[in-house]
Amino acid sequence: MTTRSRSAQQGGKGSLKWLVWLFLALSFAFFAYLSATLPITGDDFGWASGFGANYFKSGRWLTYDGRYLGDWLIITMMRVRWFKIVVYAAGFTGILYLISLFFPKRRLFYTVGSFVLLMGMPVTLFAQTFGWNAGFVNYVPSVLVPLGMLYLFRKYLYYQSVPLRKRTDYWLTAFILPLAILGQFFAEHITLFNVVLSIAALGYFWYFQKQKARFLWGYAAGSVIGALLMFSDGAYHSVAKNADQYRHVKLSLDTVLATIRNTLFTNLASKNLLILLVVSVVALFLIVRADWKLSHKVLLGVSLWLEPLYQIFLRTTGISHTHLILNVNMGLTLLYFVALLVFLWRCLPHKQAAELTSYLVMAILLVAPFAVASPVGPRCFFASYILLILFTLLLISETVGEQLSSQGTLWLTVLLMAAALGQAVPLMRDAHDMQQARQLQVAYLYFQTQDKQKSYAKVTLQYLEVPHRHLIWQVASQSNDWEYNEYYLIPGHAGGTVIPYSQWHKIYLKEPNTEQFFQRMYWGQ
């Protein structure tokens, strides 16, 4: 094998290493563009206004929540635009970078693959993480610490691909301890997960495997200290007394079962159609080639394809999610999960099967608290979705990835890059349209409320609709959002009317002069 062939196979080394960094740089630029153009929304306005300005000064933080670092980030991001763009882009790019570290071979292929799977997330999850800064600060940066720790476990302890030197261990411990503490101030379920993961890793590697890595103690100590600091906040005392107006703990069996069926199963599996399809395709490819009885092949193959096909059927027919539909979905999801476990343990060496199984279990453990805790929304499943991405890519790496030639890897990487471009360009176009619409929306509101118009003021204001609203998280109506009005200093009015984007944008294209466009919209000419 030539030197060039070896380099091409490794993908993350030699001549292709710079391509990985180039792709990460382009990803950073893409995420930065989204941050700069997607309009702020929801309680972003509150954090950017008086509430955020007085949050720490007034002592409100002592009884609001224990997300101290996330709260500081959103307050700062809403006041310093360049800081918002950098943190936003660094958060998502950091996840791609950490995932890429799991793949020393064909690193470019898996890095691009992670981008495609990330951008293929359910639109509701996108809206609450990419399209909502207050959602981003709590649910995206919080993933970095546990994801980084999983990489260190894999590298130094599980596979021992690199020997852990004493000096390295000391430096890791010194670095991880404060980082683990800070990583606990974002989202409660991530805080609990870090505690469980750190203690489980300490027990497994230190006591059972006799691997005396000191950084395990740093992670465990930091996680416990951070958790104690977070949950010492007065807000959780109110939750425990069932006196909190926003957060609740529900222990009714019927409510818990309904949440598991309607929310947990749906967001963990049903909505993640791209993940389901990729895993099922890889599994079917290996099942067909396996030296098993035909009946076993058919049974396992069908079990792994019923859930994806069912989801495609529901989406194409538009059938509403009745109790029957949800019950069938839960049954097929359970069947899919069991069949996937059978597939892993029959097709992979036990060490690899155990690793992949652990990621599936962790994805479930991450959201297990929401069976009893509320509120719960798609954003709460972001960390689980990242673990599912990692699971999918590692499954490919441990199976069909090992059988790919350097030329095959190259062509697949090119196809993935084309897919990534196909995802990024429409999003950038939509984000630009949303930014332009928001600017016109605000300018038109000022036009309607300026002094020279007061004598002719209408009873209600006209709000130009911002398009592609599915990409951002917005609880209140565009015409009745008091935080929006406070942020943009819009005088209080008794409601308003929304002018559909399809209607006002046609007029705008014919009348590019902004002042004349406003006059035409206002007087109905």
pLDDT tens digit sequence for 244-280: 778 888 888 889 999 999 999 999 999 999 999 999 9
Q: Which residues contact 407 (CB under 8 A, 6 or more apart)?
A: none
Task: Report the pLDDT value the prediction gives residue 10, as an integer from 0 to 100.
Answer: 43
Give the residue, 136 or 474, on which the prediction is more confident: 136
Alpha-carbon distance values, 84 to 73, 108, 410, 453 (Å): 8, 28, 36, 36
Q: What is the pLDDT of residues 402-436, one digit of tens each?
A: 788 888 889 999 999 999 999 999 999 999 999 99
- Residue at 311 is within a domain: yes
Task: Report the pLDDT value the prediction gives residue 492, as an integer from 0 to 100.
Answer: 61
| Lowest-pLDDT range of 143-152, 315-324, 480-489 | 480-489
CB 367 within 8 A of CB 388: no
pTM of the model: 0.94
Residue 399 in this model has a pLDDT that exceeds 70 = yes
Note whether 451 and 318 are same-domain residues: no
Radius of gyration from C-alpha coordinates of the chain: 25
Give the residue, 138 or 49, on which the prediction is more confident: 138
SS3 state of residue 255: helix
Torsion region of 143: left, alpha or beta (phi above 0 gives left; psi -120 to 50 gives alpha): alpha
Domain end among 401, 436, 462? 401
Note whether 463 and 383 are same-domain residues: no
Task: Report the pLDDT value the prediction gives residue 493, as an integer from 0 to 100.
Answer: 55
Torsion of CA 20, 22, 26, 32, to 10 degrees: 90
What does the alpha-carbon distance between residue 378 and residue 264 come to, in Å, rounded to a whole number?
10
Note whether 390 and 439 are same-domain residues: no
| Interval 153-180 mean pLDDT | 94
- Residue at 492 is within a domain: yes
Paired tokens of 507: 């007029």
Q: What is the pLDDT of residues 194-216, one digit of tens each?
A: 999 999 999 999 888 888 899 99
Task: Report the pLDDT value the prediction gives residue 208, as an integer from 0 to 100.
Answer: 86
Confidence of residue 455 (pLDDT cuts 50, 70, 90): very low
Note whether 386 and 268 are same-domain residues: yes
Q: What is the pLDDT of residues 3-29, one digit of tens each?
A: 434 444 444 444 578 899 999 999 999
Residue with token string 């399209």: 131
What does the alpha-carbon distance between residue 247 and residue 112 come to, in Å, rounded to a whole number?
38
Averaged confidence pLDDT in the chain: 90
Note whether 459 and 397 are same-domain residues: no
Residue 305 has φ and ψ, to the nearest 5°, of: -110, -10
The 3 state secondary structure assigned to 13-80 is CHHHHHHHHHHHHHHHHHHHHHHHHCCCCCCHHHHHCHHHHCCCCCCCHHHHCCCHHHHHHHHHHCCC
- Residue at 180 is within a domain: no
- Residue at 130 is within a domain: no
- Residue at 378 is within a domain: yes
What does the alpha-carbon distance between residue 335 and residue 347 come to, in Å, rounded to a whole number?
18
Paired tokens of 157: 């302890």
- Residue at 129 is within a domain: no
Confidence of residue 476 (pLDDT cuts 50, 70, 90): low
Note whether 293 and 368 are same-domain residues: yes
Q: At what angle do helices 382-398 and 107-119 cross, to 10 degrees?
A: 140
Q: Which residues contact 349 (CB under 8 A, 6 or more apart)?
A: none
CB 42 within 8 A of CB 473: yes
Residue 450 in this model has a pLDDT that exceeds 60 = yes
How is residue 510 annotated by DSSP?
H
What does the alpha-carbon distance between residue 446 and residue 522 come to, in Å, rounded to a whole number?
12
CA angle in degrees (0–180, nearest 5) for 479-131-442: 35
Task: Report the pLDDT value the prediction gives residue 333, as an integer from 0 to 100.
Answer: 94
Note whether 393 and 310 are same-domain residues: yes
Note whether 326 and 438 are same-domain residues: no
Note whether 393 and 262 are same-domain residues: yes
Paired tokens of 267: 């967001």
Q: Which residues contact 257 (CB under 8 A, 6 or more apart)?
A: none
Domain that includes residue 493, residue range: 428-523
- Residue at 453 is within a domain: yes
| Interval 490-517 mean pLDDT | 84
- Residue at 98 is within a domain: no
What does the alpha-carbon distance between residue 36 and residue 438 come to, in Å, rounded to a whole number?
13
Task: Report the pLDDT value the prediction gives residue 462, as an integer from 0 to 100.
Answer: 86
Paired tokens of 473: 């998280």
**DSSP string computed for 148-170:** HHHHHIIIIIIS-SS---HHHHH
| Lowest-pLDDT range of 84-98, 344-358, 483-497, 503-517 | 483-497
Torsion of CA 152, 153, 159, 165, to 10 degrees: 60
Confidence of residue 32 (pLDDT cuts 50, 70, 90): very high
Note whether 459 and 375 are same-domain residues: no
Is there a cis peptide before residue 375, judged by omega within 30 degrees of 0?
yes
Torsion of CA 75, 76, 78, 82, to 10 degrees: -170
Note whether 372 and 443 are same-domain residues: no
Task: Report the pLDDT value the prediction gives residue 6, as an integer from 0 to 100.
Answer: 40
Note whether 390 and 498 are same-domain residues: no
User: How many Å from the N-terminal Cα to the C-terminal Cα in the chain?
Assistant: 74
Number of structural domains the chain divides into:
2
Residue with token string 């909502």: 132
Task: Report the pLDDT value the prediction gives residue 129, as an integer from 0 to 100.
Answer: 97
